[in-house]
Structure 1
């Protein structure tokens, strides 16, 4: 397993641990765990959108297409922060949608074709776990 894979999977630890801690808070309150989760989620979405920048710099597309892709890359972290500020109790499903939409945007824009097959599979697995984590925590928040 490459370092990139290990780092990707290690990045899932908070997405798995924090929902588990939410239902049984030991060191932090449920509110603190939720705030930490939300901030981590926004950070990771911004990071994943930022990964597009090196791909854009190596892209041979027209300037107009590169400009659209650059705007697309910065849109996701901005929407994530807006959701954090305004979405309230709906932040978790909104954020899950943003993670999925980022992958869809990578496919639709053709950027995904510049990734290796191994990286595409990794991104799909990581995105799936992250989305499930958001939905599980949303369910926990609304059922406890």
Structure 2
């Protein structure tokens, strides 16, 4: 994987961390921004999965294609529900994509370093969702 992809991937964590910490610090606006950013990134990632599967259409099922579109729609639904349900719902969407990306078509399409990066990014995004949720409850 080239350096720019890694830099952009890790740079995408900056708003997650910033908004999650802002929620924890009691900011009144940060939770809305966190949720919006999370929905946008989840939708982007679902679209990327859909693109990989479209490129290898003969190696994926209609259910897998439908799941990527379902995660996209789920992410937007979670944006419009109360945060108490939306934050865990968005997190669920990220983990559905992790599961989807374990299918053979992704193991053939993604190099090991990209898969490692995606795992790391998902763990940090998950931690940020947990922090934002904790901030919501306190």
The bucket for the TM-score relative to the shorter chain is: 0.7 to 0.9
Structural RMSD (CA): 1.9
The answer (yes or no) to whether the contact 2:46–2:97 under 8 Å persists in 1 is yes
Residues 94-133 of structure 1: matches in 2 within 5 Å? 94-107=89-102, 109-113=103-107, 114-133=109-128
Q: TM-score, normalised by structure 1?
A: 0.84
> Any idea what the Cα deviations from partners look like across 1:23-61, whole Å, max 9, x if unmatched?
336xxxx33211111000000000011112331233152
Structure showing greater relative contact order (alpha-carbon pairs closer than 8 Å, 6 or more residues apart): 2
> Post-superposition, which runs of at least 4 consecutive aligned residues in structure 1 deviate over 6 A?
none
When structure 1 is superposed on structure 2, of 77-86 and 3-12 the one drifting more is: 77-86
Unpaired runs of 5+ residues, structure 1, are none
Alignment of 1:1-144 (within 5 A): 2-24=3-25, 30-59=27-56, 61=58, 65=61, 67-107=62-102, 109-113=103-107, 114-143=109-138
Tell which structure's C-alpha radius of gyration is larger.
1
What TM-score, normalized to structure 2? Answer: 0.87
Structure 2 distance, partners of 1:60, 1:89, is: 37
Residue 6 of structure 1 and its aligned partner are, at CA, apart by 0.2
Where in structure 2 are there 5+ consecutive unaligned residues?
none
Aligned residues between the structures: 136
The CA deviation at 1:87 is 4.6
